[in-house]
Structure 1
């Protein structure tokens, strides 16, 4: 991790992106954040800044040319046959545990590799199997994928697998541009002094993430929250139920991060855009099965028998390594 990362609390005019990243940091089971936008919109800067707030301040970058073995790790079969034990060489998923796994230009990765990334990001566990031998290890990390839409899109099936999505755009507000440039120039001129001015804010933010993670399991969803989630997902004409699940988790993470006593409808509405942005199907009407004809789905979709299927996902919360304040780490 670069010791001179730009402070997360010093980012200018990036509120939607900051919120999405913080929610994923509080609850990595949300499934990662996809950040799309043109070059120069601070996508990678924000990813590196978030990593500094997490345990060990760890950022692992997945290169575009990475192989499956580099990603998931390898098993030494000869050693297993000879010694009777499993010799596992960790991949990038293991190294990213408790930190951030950053994938720039995720839309240019092979689809099978993106599938594996998203599976592990949602489950928090990586399973490596080879010739009847398997090894599993914890891999709870915040997945951040960035892309420039001009260089190609992700398939809809992969888009849906990302928990949250934020779309960045070029800034044409002169005053905002000036604030961004001034902050960057100040950081470049004296990174240590710039970071020192934000040290207390960074420490407070790290503590808020720590407290929110510990509080997640205490939150429940009442009928009004469930009703609002269903209503918004139906209005967006999303496929399947993944959007509903992610929206509930994101709303819970927001409530925990803000120290709210419970999850309410306002939390749902504040996370809805990042949950639905990449799933919304404008102009499509929700499909409805005619009553009294149970065989209709098979008659009308013979080649898509798993329509609406959502793979099993962990329920509740998993214990996540706690965050120590930055000030304590430096002491």
Structure 2
């Protein structure tokens, strides 16, 4: 396998988000990218300020507060760029049912506009962070499986994928990563997906609400493994471009996540309730195509839950003194 990372400037859109905040640090510590300028673009709507704090001193960073939908910001952002890692997206899935037009505008049309501006600027290397949710429910899916996305988030990601891959005919050199749902610690955290949400609730002494039987399968990946997957594709561009890859650490049930939390906090309480339409999705993805390229996951769900729970050390005992307040349901579509 060839190794090629002769890049001077890498643009990370959404670089202050959950995955972005980890990736920009990992790039600085990766010898393949020792002298690369890491250009971060983010509109800061999710208040990802921690991403910019305490960055590694060995990193060469630039930051642009701007939006992928803003042509002026993107013209500056793409100046002199050798590769783009496109992470910017609206990701809170239940919210997408209330605001599908915004989801479509950012995730689909925002990606389409970014692709056009990349081609105009002669930036051809393009890594797109898509989602395993494009497959829809009910099965074990590989990259040849038919996609039947459910809901505005998954549908917008699927349409964005089609735009990205169609641009190959015009010179784009894309890699599409269908990422499992990320978990684990990163400087800018997310707690709206099942694994991190369960760790958070247990950490503050609240019960975990399981909808239905809890046997629904979810593909998960540690955020540092997701970062490693992106860096692998950047470093092995000639072998990974023009491909779609599933990227997954483990396919686990919701009950498996509960047990991972219990392995650290055995006293955590579990509430079962009726399953609703937003929580019934169950599917797994086959990641062997990407693993055959030479990448493999390193972090388990158990390790990730222990890591996140450690962030809330000391809260559970005090929080238990308060009366119990019903928690929201846990939705996991990303």
Question: Which structure is larger by alpha-carbon Rg, 1 or 2?
Answer: 1
What is the TM-score normalised by the length of structure 2?
Answer: 0.29
* Structure with the higher strand share, 1 or 2: 2
* Structure with the higher helix share, 1 or 2: 1
